[in-house]
Structure 1
Amino acid sequence: MKSITYGEISFEQVCEKIKEYTIKDLESDYVISVGTDSQNIDGYTKMVSVIAIVRRTKGGIFFYDIKRVKKIKNLRQKIFKETQYSIDLASKVMEFLDENRIYAALEVHVDIGINGHTKKLIREIVGWVIGSGFKCCMKPDSYTSSGIADRISKKGSKVC
């Protein structure tokens, strides 16, 4: 994974950074969110998964991973692939939080909403995320997928 602050780091190191960040202020509430967005670029699809940790009213940090996959032309398949990446990553984060007794809300942010072509996928995607044991946030509340990951996934993004 990568971080603007810490550079290239392993998932295990990301977990340690989460632990360090949450220990700094035990009185605060934390929300950890996981989201993925993708863009078709040239002959492939750029998938960007993000883990964001927000200390309510006091800012936050994020980590991201970029994968290149075979070009996905179908919107439904693309949204399902993004959601699968997010659920898989959120499951790993949840395991770490449970093992280390870190108490933070964990959300999966999906890049769908009531406006646009993705509205017909809401029941399936939200049901899948909730059925996997996570709170599901969609647009306009899905800042991790539709904000952070979206910006990094764009062609020409300064963040690599």
Structure 2
Amino acid sequence: MKSITYGELTFNEVCEKIKIYTGRDLKGQYVISVGTDSQNIGGITKVVSVIAIVKKTKGGIFFYDIKKVKRINNIRQKIFKETQCSIELASQVMEYINKNEIEASLEVHVDIGDQGETKHLIKEIVGWVMGMGFKCCMKPDSYTSTGIADKISKKGSKVC
């Protein structure tokens, strides 16, 4: 994974950064969110997964991972791939949070909403995420997928 602040990190190093960040203010309210977005660029699909840690009203930090997969043209398949990546990453984060007794809520942010071409996927995607035991946030509240991951996934992104 990568961080603008810390550079290249292993997943375990990311988890340690989460522990340090959430341990600075034990009275603070922290939200850890995981989200993924993807963009087709040439013959590939660039898939960006993000872990964001926000201290309510005080800002936050984020970490990201970029994968390149065979081009996905179908919007349904693309949303399912993004959600799968988010659930897998959130499961790993949840395991770490539980083992280390970190006080933070965990959300999965999905790139769907009740406007546009993804509205017919809401029941399936939200049901899947919630069925896996996570709180599901969608547009306009899914800032990790629709904001951070979206910006990094764009072709001209300076963050790579």
Q: What TM-score do you get using the length of structure 2 for normalisation?
A: 1.00
For 1:113 and 1:56, locate their aligned partners in 2 and report how far apart those are by CA, in whole Å: 24
For 1:81 and 1:7, locate their aligned partners in 2 and report how far apart those are by CA, in whole Å: 26
Partner of 1:147: 147
Partner of 1:2: 2
Aligned length: 160
For 2:27 and 2:107, locate their aligned partners in 1 and report how far apart those are by CA, in whole Å: 20
Aligned pairs for 1:58-137 within 5 A: 58-137=58-137
Partner of 1:23: 23
Shift of 1:103: 1.4
For 1:116 and 1:93, locate their aligned partners in 2 and report how far apart those are by CA, in whole Å: 31
Gaps of 5+ in 2: none
Shift of 1:114: 0.3
For 1:44 and 1:95, locate their aligned partners in 2 and report how far apart those are by CA, in whole Å: 31
Q: What TM-score do you get using the length of structure 1 for normalisation?
A: 1.00
| SS of residue paired to 2:34 | strand
Shift of 1:30: 0.2
AA aligned to 2:77 is Q
For 1:126 and 1:32, locate their aligned partners in 2 and report how far apart those are by CA, in whole Å: 18
Shift of 1:67: 0.1
Partner of 2:38: 38
Identity of aligned residues (%): 76
Shift of 1:149: 0.1
